[in-house]
Amino acid sequence: GGGGKKHVMIPPKKAKLSKKERRELQEKQRAAKEAGAGGGGGGGKKNASKKDSSGSIGSANDRKSGGGNNHQSNSNNNNNGNKGESSLSSSNRHGTGISGGNGGDDKTTSLFSHLPPYRDHDTFKEQFSGIKLGNNNNNINTPSSANHHPHQHLHPAVLSLGLKYANGSIRGANARCRAMLQTFQTIIADYTQHSTTTSAPPTTTTTTTKKNKSTTKDMRQDIEQSLLKPAFTYWTTHCRTHSVSMGNAFTFLKLAVANLDRDTTEAHAKTTLIEIIDTYVTQRIEFANQAISKYAGTKIVDGDVILTYAKSEVVQHLLEDAASDTNHNTNTNTNNSTTPKKFRLIIVDSRPLLEGRKLLQNILQSTTTTTHNIECTYILLNSLSYVMMGEVTKVFLGAAALMSDGSVLARVGTASIAMMARRKNIPVLVCCETYKISNRVQMESITGNELGCP
């Protein structure tokens, strides 16, 4: 009767498909979709859904698990058709933009799926340029022009440095940080304080009209928001991930801007910031390198065989100072004077950058122009175990950052050399400036890594 209870049918739970089964199901759906598209429109799609009753269930499960067929085919089409736009999308950043054929099924590639894909500056030229060809709007300060090309408001020095970061012309923590600070000096010197125009609210009691008032924006906030942050964001997001040294220097510069007097003049503020940047470079980089060279040079004795890896600015200064008779001490007492030391240098290098060649060239050039003489040997990383057997007495390494737990962040291959030296009971000395100290803790070397050119 009408008052009886209705029986509710609860469908049983469907068995979870394995990766192989899902892949086979996707292949069937793709073939059915292509056949439907060839046969013409919605009729083929309807027949394909009737042909395989489990197709809708499988596609729904795939959509829940994040691996739908339509998404995969669309992403593949984007990669083949429009590489510039597809590489910037978040789906390709974590999926087919890195892995290639199998997408997220490749366990080896999934380890690096969180890293942004490598972008060649020659392929994506428009991303590293501030000029948009065919733009008829000459006023780059209008919102429409800013939306048309978001990098037009950046200083040309910022775009030039970003291109050097992207193509690898500037490498090394000290070199990248120094170039960033010098670019900040350039854009601060060309800075002009902006003014905002505000109009008085309309009133009904008076018949006179009030003129618009021009109010000056807080210069400290304007420098940070219009100069520092846009440039740093552009370098980090479009060119290359910033190093720890760049991040610490940028934080210091923002603090220096915030500590400016509110009533200071524009010219005085620009002069003060430029002097602060010069002082930072002198004390944190140059003086730090001299202090490290002076202290670590005492660890080198005559007859040592020093091994170093790739190229490090502070290690290069250390080796050149140890081999020369130049005295950096201000004290004229002869007891504190340094004497040149005779040692041999082994430079270990690895592909693809082969940065050790640059170190070898610098040392050879300094040998011909100065009085010191360093005997150098150049090898690749695969010959490391051979030279470690009985030749090397000390290992000097550079560092990109020093974590709060004492771990060292350096270029790939540094850990292999350190572990090999420890196995052979050879002392390892890591040279790192204090401005590279980070408060982060990194337990492995994959989280904060970078993907190079495949």
Reported as a single tens digit per residue, the pLDDT across 17-49 is 888 888 888 888 888 888 877 655 444 444 444
Q: pLDDT at position 37, please?
A: 73
85-114: pLDDT as tens digits: 433 334 333 333 333 334 444 555 677 777
The pLDDT value given to residue 179? 97
pLDDT tens digits, one per residue of 194-214: 665 444 455 444 444 444 544
- Give the model confidence (pLDDT) of 330-350 as tens digits: 444 444 446 889 999 999 999
Region 239-247: mean pLDDT is 93
Q: What is the pLDDT of residue 330?
A: 44
Of 402, 443, 441, 405, which is closest to residue 243 (Cα–Cα)?
402
